[in-house]
Amino acid sequence: MSSPGISRPETTDGELDRLAAMIAGARSVVALTGAGISVPSGIPDFRTPRSGLWEKVDPMKVAHIDAFRGDPVRFWRFYGERFATLSGKQPNGAHLALVAMEARGMLDGVITQNIDMLHRRAGTRELVEIHGSIATCSCASCGGSVPLQEVRVRLERDPDGVPRCAGCGGPLKPDVVLFGEMLSDGAIARARELCEGADVLLCVGSSLEVHPVAGLPLLTRATGGTVAIITQGPTPLDHLADVRLSGDVVVELEALAGALALS
């Protein structure tokens, strides 16, 4: 794994080596990932000034459960574009570095805020998709589930651009957690379990601003574990980080894999 043309600042090598030693000596390591891990795959994040997705649209108007219920045509005009944007994206070196750690028994699981399926495509086995996934859509009326590829077909065929249930004709909803919806009890319980048991929690590409996910690192600290934050830009929990790496996430995780002799 390598990222040609991008180098790491030498001043952070000590922090990287310290993190590698922490991981090598840990009984349990868990990763918590956010939108920043997918940016190198060509997927924009949500909050970066001038380029974030929510700079262009109001999430309350296009990604709220009330928007889906009240105006599915407008909702799917936004989500249809999102599906098209995500369709050809592939995992990057950061995703693959986490897979390599898991394969060597150095990572117990990945908790992700992302819905883009890139961890799945990379091969992560123990995955908690805390905000759901675009892998399927469901009918709010009859509960039928439809896989992504079929959703795309129905979206293209519908004159209004709304994928519909074959049984009742109702609009399908992506199996993601929209604004105004609760997280899955099972997903949040598993995430809490992993974080409470972690000796080291790697927070990768997350702004750590969206709750309750932003509180997960506090669980690791409360149970005696350490927190490493690997992301560009500040987070509200930087002061709690035992290790803080601010470089490109692909470069940082590939360097970490190298320090752990995984590459």
Residue 122, SS3 per DSSP:
helix
Catalytic annotation present for 131: yes
Cβ-contact 31, 110 below 8 angstroms? yes
**H or E segment at 16?**
helix 13-24
Residue 261 burial by Cβ neighbours in a 10 Å radius (0-12, 13-18, 19+): exposed
Strand-pairing partners, residue 176, are 132
Distant-in-sequence, close-in-space partners of 197: CB < 8 Å, separation ≥ 6? 28, 30, 108, 223
**Among residues 30, 51, 41, which one has the least CA distance to residue 112?**
30
**Cα dist from 252 to 67, 100, 144, 247, 259, whole Å:** 38, 14, 42, 6, 10
User: Which one from 95, 131, 211, 239 is the annotated catalytic residue?
Assistant: 131
Residue 29, SS3 per DSSP:
strand
Distance, CA of 220 to chain centre = 19
Query: Which residues are marked as active site?
Result: 131
